[in-house]
Amino acid sequence: MKKKYVFSFTEGDGKNKTLLGGKGANLCEMTQIGLNVPPGFVISTEACLAYLDSPGKELPEGLMDEVRSHIRELELATGRGFGDTENPLLVSVRSGSALSMPGMMDTILNLGLNSETLPGLIKQTGNERFAYDAKRRFIQLFGKVAMGIGDEDFNKALEAVKVRSGARSDVDMTVADLIDVAELFRQVVAENRLTPFPDNVWEQLTISIKAVFDSWMGKRAVDYRREFNITPEMCNGTACNVVAMVFGNMGNDSGTGVGFTRDPATGENVMFGEYLVNAQGEDVVAGIRTPKAIQGMKSEMPDLYHQLEELRYKLERHYHEVQDFEFTIEKGKLYCLQTRNGKMTANAMVRTSVEMFAETLLSKEQALLRINPEHLEQLLYPGLDPSFKGEPLATGLPASPGAASGRCVFDADRAETLGRNGTNVILVREETKPEDIHGFFASKGILTSRGGKTSHAAVVARGMGKPCVAGAEGIRVDTEHRQAQVGSQILHEGDVITIDGGTGNVYLGEIPTIEPEFSDQLHTLLGWADEFARIGVRANADTPHDAERARYYGATGIGLCRTERMFNAPDRLPIVVDMILADTSEERQRHLDRLLPIQRGDFFGIFKTMSPYPVTIRLLDPPIHEFLPFEHVLVKQLEDLRGLRKGLLSMTRFIDTVQLLDSDVHAHWMQGLDRLPLNVRELDVEAVERAVATRELMLQRVRTLREVNPMLGHRGVRLGVTIPEIYKMQIRAILEAEAECRKAGIEVHSEIMVPQVCNEAELKWVKKYVDDLRAEVEQVKGVKLDFKYGSMIEVVRACVTAGKMARTAEFFSFGTNDLTQAAFSFSREDAENKFLPDYQTLGIIDENPFETIDVEGVGPLMKMAVERGRATRPDLKVGICGEQGGHPASIRFCDHIGLDYVSCSSPRVPIARLAAAHATMVESIFDY
């Protein structure tokens, strides 16, 4: 039996994309579920391969006979004739392989037009202009696609006619113009090719089919397949789709439109769309007429509206998804030309998921899986009004999502002063330090000109859930003069700007923003996600307030409580600085004793808020010089203080500098400001001397503590070992807070975590502090404590020696920021400003490994740590608290290697909960 190469849409197997290509199979499916698809047929990929394999590039024997018989069917179905002069059948010809890929042949429309059929088309449509426009489009498409003539020549001819006729755009061209264009296009073809433009419609069709098949071996297509490793097993050859053209411009019983089966903005279960009577799709695109809302059809074309409603119902019942479809009405008959899954807002996705489950259109799994977790970000952070279309003033890195407007302020103190007065403030800095923390609290958003997505500003902003744009290098911040320069523009203190932490854009002026909403439907959906998820979701939270937010977003524990954040609060930083400046262990202890009750109170509050969920507390991590001002700031302050003493300062500097004095002296001076000009002789010389002495000491410490590579420096457990007093105070605060909770009947599951550990000896060393303090606290407080002791796994060596680590650690928590930094030897504070963007542009690195776990390079280290750790301690609890913990692909990987939980910033918890459910539903694709 001869091989069958051609399949009518009514007979082709809608699931067989290999044979029919994606587009062909889809058209078959639509036809067979009863949608009015224009009649057509598919020439199979097998025909393509047979053609390409044949010695003389001949279409397989009998193929054109099959085609002819299918064209005959189209003629019967449409009542038109292919090449007929009265009522011509026109067709479109398209390629379509199993996987969609660029570089394949474009569509040829209106095939079947020639000198003889053109009058027929004019008669049928009553629209001469449309017919000539169709003709010139056909010539260009055919000439380009089937004959290989570049667009430029056609466009040049078109421009020439437009110039001559004075038409500003295509729509201004008259019939005569279009006739001229068509003639010129014929000449273009004649000049470029030896063979003339085929007037015979069968010749047109045969050449087009061959052109479709040839395009499979075109350079771009071949390159694309090689680039993306598309093998013949995955996709081989292209099919060719031939479809009868239908026209919506055949009178007032014709029309065209697009529709959504539900409202894509709100998700409401009503049809949504637009249509035009007596028009073709191009008319909508060209913007000649304004389409009407689809609801208007109800009165204008009630029958057709009813058909559309039927179509909507059929589509959703069949596809189990909101559909975005195109339709044309030709002389009262509705054709569905195309349908695909509808793109919707996150809100609409959530609502339709919940409602379509109720309507039994979706299972819970389907309702969850159809939503991309990242999409939920829209619902969790304020965003710019999507209708806003303005040019950004500058662009940095999207460091913490959300949008905010406010007045520029260039230092944290001013931000605090203005913020307290209710002014919306954006803190603009070159980079931030812990000493700026009060400015963060007071600001709506943070903008820095240096630093990456893991810079201090970015991490703190994310932790607080405030928008941040970091490393906007086009902005030159001049703190001294309280202004910033962007190109030639100067931003003064008080100028209003808007930052979008989701895109990294910075705008001048106030741009309207949309507030997030955590709807009941989202709650329902996430509840379902929790039913399916295997891996738990915790939040990173540093204060009782943070812990409340964590619970609000549905976190079932704190995976990372950063104790240094507590050190940074404005009431504590001075004590911390005193502690760092201490010369003896005793003096240091004295300052730590002041911090103890504060930390204990923090921990108590967090435990209470999170009860009965676990709370993992990380002991001090950053190098202690981070708590001191920058060296150049101190140098400047000293210079100013000396200038103050000599009476050399300008008034602005004078006011700034007086703030450096003891607070009472400062207050005294401020009161005197109305008696300006100030008499320098009134100066409290001793207060100035004190301020100088303190700053000299700080400067000396800053210089002693200076490190070439602070991220790899004297920090974490290295501090814990060499300056034991700090860790001991923190451990005591944790244990005492736990004891107080137990006495108050609050269930606590605290976990003490040591950062930067590289070998078991470090863990054992700190364990001694813990054991001693536990014994003491249990004895003094008269309660039995029950907590876990564990290790951050953020040093490569800790992964390698995890088997030993797990002898002492009862849990592991991956710090994938640092681990990634170490695995790549990329400074995470520098890479994103320096070479990483280039690397991504050049394709050397696909994804920023600081955003999503590098499964190939970092993944094996994590897997090694889990396996070795659990070999020693089978019930070892393992989590992740790095930035990547909130990223869906990373969550999937973490689920895959058996982690117990992920931890991320609170607003990302919903995203993580959904991603955690997804992780259990999709098959593993990890290969490393």
Q: Which of 422, 571, 825, 923 binds a second copy (CB under 8 A)?
A: 825
Q: Which of 860, 872, 896, 920 binds a second copy (CB under 8 A)?
A: 860
Region class of 826: left (phi > 0), else alpha (psi between -120 and 50), else beta: beta
Provide, rounded to whole angstroms, the least separation between the CB of residue 728 and a second copy: 16
Q: Which of 733, 796, 878, 915 binds a second copy (CB under 8 A)?
A: 796
Provide, rounded to whole angstroms, the least separation between the CB of residue 824 and a second copy: 5
Q: Tell me the C-alpha to C-alpha distance, in Å, between residue 103 and each of 216, 217, 327.
A: 8, 10, 27
Q: Which of 179, 369, 569, 712 binds a second copy (CB under 8 A)?
A: 712
- The residue range among 534-542, 605-613, 754-762, 775-783 that interacts with a second copy, by the rule CB under 8 A, is 754-762
Complex with a second copy: residue 663 or 841, whichever CB lies closer: 841
Interatomic CA distance for residues 348 and 371, integer angstroms: 10
Q: Which of 290, 708, 745, 779 binds a second copy (CB under 8 A)?
A: 708
Provide, rounded to whole angstroms, the least separation between the CB of residue 560 and a second copy: 18
Does 474 sit near a second copy (CB under 8 A)? no
Complex with a second copy: residue 384 or 795, whichever CB lies closer: 795
Q: Which two tokens stand for residue 317?
A: 């019942």
Q: Are 468 and 355 in contact (CB under 8 A)?
A: no
Q: Which of 270, 670, 744, 761 binds a second copy (CB under 8 A)?
A: 761
- The residue range among 156-164, 554-562, 575-583, 705-713 that interacts with a second copy, by the rule CB under 8 A, is 705-713
Q: Give, in degrees to the nearest 5, the angle at Cα 901 between 896 and 907.
A: 115
Sign of CA dihedral 319, 322, 328, 334: positive
- The residue range among 130-138, 353-361, 376-384, 792-800 that interacts with a second copy, by the rule CB under 8 A, is 792-800
Provide, rounded to whole angstroms, the least separation between the CB of residue 797 and a second copy: 4
Burial class (CB in 10 A: 0-12, 13-18, 19+), 925: exposed
Complex with a second copy: residue 707 or 776, whichever CB lies closer: 707
Q: Which of 153, 283, 621, 829 binds a second copy (CB under 8 A)?
A: 829
Q: Tokens 């008034």 sit at which residue?
A: 651
Does 827 sit near a second copy (CB under 8 A)? yes
Provide, rounded to whole angstroms, the least separation between the CB of residue 643 and a second copy: 16
- The residue range among 74-82, 528-536, 559-567, 826-834 that interacts with a second copy, by the rule CB under 8 A, is 826-834
- The residue range among 93-101, 532-540, 600-608, 757-765 that interacts with a second copy, by the rule CB under 8 A, is 757-765
Does 330 sit near a second copy (CB under 8 A)? no
Element (H, E) at 537: strand 536-540
Does 722 sit near a second copy (CB under 8 A)? yes
Does 835 sit near a second copy (CB under 8 A)? yes
**Count of residues binding a second copy (CB under 8 A)?**
48
Q: Are 891 and 535 in contact (CB under 8 A)?
A: yes
Q: Which of 157, 362, 858, 889 binds a second copy (CB under 8 A)?
A: 858
Q: How does DSSP assign 859-919, residue by residue?
A: HHHHHHHHHHHHHH-TT-EEEE-SGGGG-HHHHHHHHHTT-SEEEEEGGGHHHHHHHHHHH
Q: Which of 321, 500, 794, 895 binds a second copy (CB under 8 A)?
A: 794
Does 251 sit near a second copy (CB under 8 A)? no
Q: Is 456 a catalytic residue?
A: yes
- The residue range among 96-104, 334-342, 494-502, 718-726 that interacts with a second copy, by the rule CB under 8 A, is 718-726
Other beta carbons within 10 Å of 228? 10
**Could you give the string, one character per residue 861-900, with x where binding to a second copy holds by CB under 8 A and - elsewhere?**
x---------------------------------------
Q: Which of 824, 851, 872, 920 binds a second copy (CB under 8 A)?
A: 824
Mention every residue, 6+ apart, whose C-beta is less than 8 A from residue 826.
820, 836, 849
Does 854 sit near a second copy (CB under 8 A)? yes
Interatomic CA distance for residues 88 and 75, integer angstroms: 9
Q: Which of 32, 372, 503, 759 binds a second copy (CB under 8 A)?
A: 759
Region class of 789: left (phi > 0), else alpha (psi between -120 and 50), else beta: beta
Does 751 sit near a second copy (CB under 8 A)? no
Cβ-count burial 850-885 (b if 16+ within 10 Å, e if not): bbbbbbeebbebbbbbbebbbeebeebbbbbbbbbb
Q: Which of 48, 336, 408, 456 is catalytic?
A: 456
Complex with a second copy: residue 190 or 871, whichever CB lies closer: 871
Q: Which of 84, 167, 713, 746 binds a second copy (CB under 8 A)?
A: 713
Q: Which two tokens stand for residue 158?
A: 């078109």
Long-range contacts, stretch 743-747, CB < 8 angstroms, 24+ apart: 743/781, 743/783, 744/608, 746/607, 746/608, 746/611, 747/611, 747/612
Q: Which of 468, 561, 881, 904 is catalytic?
A: 881
Provide, rounded to whole angstroms, the least separation between the CB of residue 819 and a second copy: 9
Does 707 sit near a second copy (CB under 8 A)? yes
Instruction: Please list the residues that pair with 877 across neighbouring strands.
Output: 811
Q: Tell me the C-alpha to C-alpha distance, in Å, between residue 553 and each of 516, 617, 906.
A: 13, 20, 6
Q: Is 545 a catalytic residue?
A: no
Interatomic CA distance for residues 855 and 743, integer angstroms: 45
Q: Tell me the C-alpha to C-alpha distance, in Å, between residue 466 and each of 91, 505, 804.
A: 56, 15, 40
Q: Which two tokens stand for residue 622?
A: 């950053």
Tell me the one-letter amino acid at 598.
Answer: I
Sign of CA dihedral 148, 149, 150, 154: negative
Q: Give, in degrees to the nearest 5, the angle at Cα 8 between 2 and 14.
A: 105
Q: Give, in degrees to the nearest 5, the angle at Cα 87 between 82 and 89.
A: 30
Q: Which of 78, 339, 443, 801 binds a second copy (CB under 8 A)?
A: 801
Q: Known catalytic residues?
A: 456, 881
Instruction: Give the binding site for a second copy (CB under 8 A).
Output: 707-714, 718, 721-722, 756, 758-759, 761-762, 765, 794-797, 800-801, 818, 821-827, 829-831, 834-835, 838-839, 842-845, 854, 856-858, 860-861
